[in-house]
Amino acid sequence: MREITYAQAIREALAEELRRDPAVFFMGEDVAAYGGAFGVSAGLLAEFGPERIRDTPISEAAIMGAAVGAAMTGLRPVVEIMFSDFVSCCFDGLCNQAAKTRYMFGGQTAMPLVVRAPAGSGTGAAGQHSQSPEAWICNVPGLKVVAPSTPHDAKGLLKAAIRDDNPVVFLEQKLLYRTKGEVPEADYTVPLGQAACRRDGRHLTVLTYGRMVARCLEAAERLAAEDGAEAEVLDLRTLVPLDREAVIASARKTGRVLIVHEACQTGGFGGELAAVVAGSDAFFYLDAPVRRLCGADTPIPYNPTLEASVVPTTDSIAAALRDLLR
């Protein structure tokens, strides 16, 4: 099977859905002529024209307001928020309008809106352009939240999100854009709400998503080679809806759970995952307390050495796995 980058997979998903459904259009800051801040939408303007690939003013509130109105009238907008940090600039449109409209109108209108948002640290973009805001978004009923870790899932999940009649926030960790993976050329989707077991194991479970999946797999391989212990790595893929059955089944199977994410720990999504395990029958199978390994409770530093130190690394994940086995 061919290998393409994460960015190319997202571009393919956008192009295929634009061809498939004339109601789909794409807009955001510098997404047309410039091709997007990370080059993801390069070439789309030439194929689909300025009516369907639209540059917008530098106003996230305006972008979200236009998208909500368009979705309510039967279109299927996909918008790019240049950095996920800037969803804070359009929270009213996203959280008070997009998330609630279908419910408050008794299902009389759909809200087929996708918000693509590059997220996370590692690019030297400092505190205002490097956050992982998934916990802010997951707290709002009515929003679906996706965080793919591979090119295959990025394409399949984005296509599923565009076809969904509910608002979906699609978080793309920026360092993943250049990573490569196998992606089919045929049309396919990855269902929202289904986790993927990336590595089978029997001694402990790692719950993770996004950029941390690769680091957790690397740490698990190191643990197997050096300690003879097998860690199961569960890639959540979709945070809302969460595949609770997969989380609980894996915790019950191994009896030990480590939760790893890049976002800061306090109020992070890992707390919800810990509560899911503790509130299920998997609790009675646990041989140790559920542990979290998360980003530090600090703004992301600009200095590259400091920036690298405030999120989980392969070394720190491996150390946490060993500690959990004791």
Superfamily of domain 3-182: Thiamin diphosphate (ThDP)-binding fold, Pyr/PP domains (3.40.50.970)
- What does the alpha-carbon distance between residue 94 and residue 115 come to, in Å, rounded to a whole number? 9
Local confidence pLDDT in tens for the 326 residues of the chain? 899 999 999 999 999 999 999 999 999 999 999 999 999 999 999 999 999 999 999 999 999 999 999 999 999 999 999 999 999 999 999 999 999 999 999 999 999 999 999 999 999 999 999 999 999 999 999 999 999 999 999 999 999 999 999 999 999 999 999 999 999 999 999 999 999 999 999 999 999 999 999 999 999 999 999 999 999 999 999 999 999 999 999 999 999 999 999 999 999 999 999 999 999 999 999 999 999 999 999 999 999 999 999 999 999 999 999 999 98
**Bridge partners for 118 per DSSP:** 172
- What does the alpha-carbon distance between residue 192 and residue 183 come to, in Å, rounded to a whole number? 18
- The pLDDT of residue 119 is 97
Task: Read off the DSSP letter of residue 233.
Answer: E
- What does the alpha-carbon distance between residue 82 and residue 60 come to, in Å, rounded to a whole number? 9
**The two three-digit tokens of residue 256, written as one number:** 């030990």
pTM here is 0.96
* The CATH number of domain 196-325 is 3.40.50.720: no
Report the run of H or E that residue 226 belongs to, with start and end. Answer: helix 212-227
Please check whether the two domains, 3-182 and 196-325, share a CATH topology.
yes
- The pLDDT of residue 1 is 85
**Bridge partners for 293 per DSSP:** 260
Q: Domain limits of the chain? A: 3-182, 196-325
Residue pair 78/117 in contact (Cβ under 8 Å)? The answer is: no
**Catalytic residue selected from 129, 152, 203, 261:** 129
- The pLDDT of residue 78 is 98
Helix 151-163 / helix 6-20 crossing angle, nearest 10 deg: 30
- The pLDDT of residue 34 is 94
Q: DSSP for 143-165, please give it.
A: -EEE---SHHHHHHHHHHHHH-S
Is 129 part of the annotated catalytic residue set? yes
Number of Cβ atoms within 10 Å of the Cβ of 22: 10
